[in-house]
């Protein structure tokens, strides 16, 4: 989910409606670019464009599953990928630019007074109504500036795992990888968007191998100027890039 914490409010700079969203033949606003045009080898699995996420449905503003970022962020991600590829690894993008309307959709969902067992898998220790109070969901997100990304690592030598099945009763996001919803990536100790202390980047309740994967990811990202959010092993931002929040829809790939 990722939040902005106690930062100053951002002004929405682009409340634009581009039909089905900007595609490869359309210009994006505010120095945004399609990551696939900068480095097509970086894998993409934008969770909020489908059902494999904490809300169990497509989230508002995700008209498609194309990773959009600020140009400087995309260039830095390309350098991270160049470092990882000789080691048989690849980045996998889980969320990139996020429209302001998506954050508002998340807030409304957290406050709607309903919660299913499938939704509870992402916050096993407390109800979703607490996500807003505890800061896991907020009306303003750094993702809306194009300067923040959620991502993980894929071992290119490992066999491809099973696909996500929305009808299955998976274990919660803190369970062993074989029991929780499949991530299609290395085992980081929790699933993506897991609201739990085990998802804190420096958590001690994970195995040495899981900690090693987190160290590899954080190290590669840090060397290119990214800063990790300590409560979410998957979330990174690039200081000095944000210039305001945007609300154009995420385009289709």
Give a yes or no: residue 166 inside a domain: yes
135 is a domain residue: yes
How large a percentage of the chain has pLDDT more than 90? 81
pLDDT at 9 over 80: no
Is 78 a member of any domain?
Answer: yes
Q: What is the dihedral of CA 208, 212, 214, 216, to 10 degrees?
A: 180
196 is in an annotated binding site: no
Q: Is residue 251 part of a domain?
A: no
Owning domain of residue 145: 12-246
Inside any domain, residue 252 = no
Report the alpha-carbon distance of residue 249 to residue 22 in Å, rounded: 8
Q: What is the pLDDT of residue 63?
A: 96
Report pTM: 0.90
Q: Is 232 a catalytic residue?
A: yes
Q: What is the CATH number of the domain that holds 38?
A: 3.30.1380.10
- For residue range 173-203, what is the model confidence (pLDDT) as tens digits? 999 999 999 999 999 999 999 999 999 999 9
* Residue 150 annotated in ligand binding: yes
- Whether 62 maps to a domain, the answer reads yes
- Which candidate, 80, 86, 74, places its Cα nearest to that of 37? 74
- Rounded Cα distance between 63 and 102, Å, is 11
- Summarised one tens digit per residue, pLDDT across range 101-119 is 999 999 999 999 999 999 9
The pLDDT of residue 26:
58
In a domain, 121, yes or no: yes
- The C-alpha angle 160, 65, 6, rounded to 5 degrees, equals 105
* pLDDT value, residue 1: 65
Average pLDDT for 52-72: 97
* Residue 233 domain flag: yes
Averaged pLDDT score across all residues of the chain: 90
Our count of domains for the chain comes to 1
According to the annotation, is 52 in a ligand binding site?
no
Average pLDDT for 218-227 = 98
Q: In terms of pLDDT, which residue wins out, 165 or 30?
A: 165
Q: Which of 119, 130, 209, 232 is catalytic?
A: 232
Q: Residue 113's closest CA among 93, 130, 135?
A: 130
- Long-range contacts of range 74-79, CB-CB < 8 Å, 24 or more positions apart? 74/33, 74/35, 74/38, 74/39, 75/38, 76/224, 76/225, 76/226, 76/238, 77/35, 77/38, 77/39, 77/42, 77/149, 77/224, 78/38, 78/39, 78/42, 79/224
Residue 108 pLDDT: 92
Per residue in 11-33, pLDDT tens?
A: 444 444 333 444 444 579 889 99
């Amino acid at each position: 989910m990722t939040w902005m914490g106690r930062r100053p409010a951002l002004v929405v700079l682009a409340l634009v409606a581009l039909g089905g969203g900007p595609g490869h033949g359309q210009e994006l606003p505010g120095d945004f670019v399609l990551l696939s045009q900068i480095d097509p080898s970086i894998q993409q699995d934008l969770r909020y464009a489908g059902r494999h996420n904490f809300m169990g449905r497509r989230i508002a503003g995700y008209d498609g599953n194309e990773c959009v970022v600020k140009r400087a962020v995309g260039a830095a991600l390309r350098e991270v990928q160049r470092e990882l590829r000789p080691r048989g690894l690849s980045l996998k993008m889980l969320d990139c630019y996020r429209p302001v309307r998506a954050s508002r959709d998340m807030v409304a969902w957290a406050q709607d007074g309903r919660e299913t067992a499938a939704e509870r898998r992402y916050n096993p220790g407390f109800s979703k109504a607490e996500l807003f109070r505890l800061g896991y969901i907020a009306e303003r997100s750094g993702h809306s500036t194009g300067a923040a990304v959620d991502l993980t690592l894929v071992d290119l030598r490992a066999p491809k795992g099973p696909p996500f099945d929305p009808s299955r009763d998976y274990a919660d996001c803190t369970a062993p990888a074989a029991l929780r919803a499949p991530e299609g990536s290395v085992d980081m100790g929790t699933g993506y968007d897991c609201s739990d202390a085990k998802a804190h980047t420096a958590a001690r309740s994970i195995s040495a191998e899981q900690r090693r994967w987190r160290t590899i990811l954080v190290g590669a990202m840090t060397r290119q100027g990214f800063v990790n959010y300590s409560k979410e092993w998957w979330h990174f931002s690039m200081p000095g890039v944000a210039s305001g929040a945007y609300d154009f829809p995420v385009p289709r790939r």
